[in-house]
Amino acid sequence: MVGLLGLATLASVALLFLILAYVVIQGLPALNLDFFTQRPKPFGEVGGGVQPAILGTLLLAAISGVIAIPVGIAAAIFVVEYRSGRFATPVRFAAELIAGLPSIVVGVFVWALLVRGLVGHYAGIAGAVALAVIMVPIVARTVEEVLKLVPGSLREAALALGAPKWKVILRIVLPTARAGIITAAVLALARSAGETAPLLLTALGNEFFSTDLLRPIDALPLRIYRYAVSPYDDWHTKAWGASLILVAVIAIFSLVLRLATRRGQR
């Protein structure tokens, strides 16, 4: 039995390392300074990089995070701290449903709402909104679990000191759960940074660097997709390079997370 479990563990860890090693081996040849600082070049020209995609991914992550993290935390607070209320269960159920939606469906929805609707064309902001829709339930569900871990005895102690409920939440519950909330936020960011399908229908991608949120914006997953489906070897190598950078971006998120939460412990 133990042997079987060990084998399964070994297989899953080995698989992870295999993928990582393959991405590194295939991606490294593409990496050089230009790859980070140059715009993509048209086919036929040598060189060029994925700078717009890197910056686009960071920009999309920042905007979707600013939208989704507060909303997700607020929903979690509502569900956990006001659970006797009539709306807690419907809110939790809705979060579960949205979390279960395939991301392409979210993409189609935002496409209909913003790309065809309010904005009128493909735009970075539509991509950020799509990523935010994907992040909200992830943040809400994870933060919910984290808030549940805050001992009720601390809430009681604060209430008994004569603090109103909102202050108990703001000054006692959230600071106690701080490390877990940061974890939830970063996990959601990392997840959304890798999303491709909804961006295809919203942010679209861009050969040029653009910070104009009302214009199409490039992102690493879009760049990987575009290069990977092309018939050209040079672009395939660039797709691997972009993959390596995407993995690195997510790894950096986790690293920052580790540092931030370690400082939280006294």
Cβ of residue 167: shortest distance to other proteins, in angstroms? 6
d(CA 227, CA 231): 8
Q: Which of 175, 212, 252, 255 binds other proteins (CB under 8 A)?
A: 175
Residue 195, C-beta contacts closer than 8 angstroms, at least 6 positions apart: 103, 130, 131, 134, 221
Residue 216, C-beta contacts closer than 8 angstroms, at least 6 positions apart: 122, 123, 124, 203, 204, 205, 206, 210
Give strand pairing partners of 217: 204
| 2 vs 84, beta carbon nearer other proteins | 84
Residue 266 burial (C-beta neighbours within 10 Å; 0-12, 13-18, 19+): exposed
Q: Is 178 in the site for other proteins (CB under 8 A)?
A: yes
Task: Give the SS3 label for residue 204.
Answer: strand
Q: Which of 38, 176, 230, 237 binds other proteins (CB under 8 A)?
A: 176
d(CA 5, CA 239): 36
Q: Is 19 in the site for other proteins (CB under 8 A)?
A: no
Show the binding pattern over residues 154-173: x = contacts other proteins (CB under 8 A), - = does not. Answer: x-xxxxxxxxx--xx--xx-
Q: Which of 84, 86, 233, 262 binds other proteins (CB under 8 A)?
A: 84
Nearest Cα to Cα of residue 213 among 122, 130, 134 = 122
Cβ of residue 80: shortest distance to other proteins, in angstroms? 13
Q: Is 256 in the site for other proteins (CB under 8 A)?
A: no
Cβ of residue 160: shortest distance to other proteins, in angstroms? 4
d(CA 244, CA 233): 17
Contact 221, 203 (CB under 8 A): no
- Candidate ranges 22-30, 73-81, 152-160, 252-260; the one touching other proteins (CB under 8 A): 152-160
Q: Is 149 in the site for other proteins (CB under 8 A)?
A: no
- Candidate ranges 22-30, 42-50, 126-134, 148-156; the one touching other proteins (CB under 8 A): 148-156
Q: Which residue has the tokens 């297989």?
A: 11
Show the binding pattern over residues 120-139: x = contacts other proteins (CB under 8 A), - = does not. Answer: --------------------
Q: Is 79 in the site for other proteins (CB under 8 A)?
A: no
Cβ of residue 183: shortest distance to other proteins, in angstroms? 16
Integer Rg of the chain from CA: 21
The helix or strand, by DSSP H or E, that contains position 210, with its residue range, turns out to be none
Q: Is 153 in the site for other proteins (CB under 8 A)?
A: yes
| 44 vs 152, beta carbon nearer other proteins | 152
Binding site for other proteins (CB under 8 A): 83-84, 151, 153-154, 156-164, 167-168, 171-172, 175-176, 178, 264, 266
